[in-house]
Amino acid sequence: MPCVILSGPYFPSRLYGVTTLQSYVYYLNDSEDALTIKFLVAIVWILDTLHILFMSHALYYYLITGYGVPTSFEYIVWSLPAMVLVNAIVISAVQCFFAHQIYHLCRPRVRWWVTPPIMLSIVVELGFGMETAVLQFVNHEVSIVTQITFYAVTPVMTIMGLAEVVITMSLCILLYDRGSGSALPRTKRLLNTLIIYAVNRCLLILLAAAAILAVVLAAQDMWFLALSLVIGKLYANSLLASLNSREHLRSQGTGSPPDLCVCVVHFANLPKLPGDIESFKNKTGRVDAPEAAVIDVTIDPAPDSTMML
């Protein structure tokens, strides 16, 4: 327990600095996102700040208040389950954001077959996370951690991993379908980059979830608390990174030549210029000006694919 308390907050505290920086960059760019997206970013940052405050309280309780009292490590302070609850809310909120993007990317006939399973897994995952926090709130003994690892922690990590795989596969399939149906090279490059970002995010989160499951199966009960502190930070940063990377992707596309397409094609009779010599006549004696094709060529900019994520 003392080793977990000392080493657990090391990486989460640094990831919180990255979260704060990305939140600042997001609002500094003054994006044209909807108010719901801006509100979501604010909520995620506030919850992440609460997570750090709860973690600091736990450190102070065990290392300062409980200094020289070995029995203090036999009980769970209230801030530990509070961190679990905040993590569960942050993870569910970020997954709902990506599920919302999938809903708008899907065709109308398909979206009701794709998004409901994702939302159901998110709700079940949030329920197990709240169960873990409530059990720790009710029972303050450290021995409760051993009891909840298999019927609360393991289901949470398993469902979270499955939901993440489904979300990433759905995004990759939808983005690839958009890219294959587009004739614009710039759009294809942007969509391929978004696919790479989605896969990298999924692999990073799955790695953390697999580490927690490995620790739980190895009966190292308290160490999963230290690793679980990182999960919420990874989700918060994945949301902010997906939003802030759009400006970088747009800047990459500005150097490429615009795609041209023929928008209007029509035929018109050219007026006869004064002083021209009549070059031909029809059978009735009327003078007809030669017909010429007038083609209007306009620039058709590629759609902003960065708004898909």
Per residue in 199-227, pLDDT tens? 999 999 999 888 888 887 776 566 777 78
Say yes or no to pLDDT of 306 above 70.
no
Distance CA 126, CA 120 (A): 10
Tens-digit pLDDT profile for residues 134-156: 888 888 787 777 777 777 888 88
Nearest to 232 by CA among 53, 84, 24, 97: 84
Report the predicted TM-score, pTM, of the whole model to 2 decimal places. 0.78
Q: Give pLDDT, residue 111.
A: 84
Is residue 210 a contact partner of residue 154, using CB atoms and an 8 Å limit?
no
Q: How many CB atoms lie within 10 A of CB 36?
A: 10
Range with lowest mean pLDDT among 196-200, 238-242, 253-257:
253-257
- Calpha distance 52→67 (Å, rounded): 21
Measured at the CA of 149, the angle between CA 143 and CA 154, to 5 degrees, comes to 175
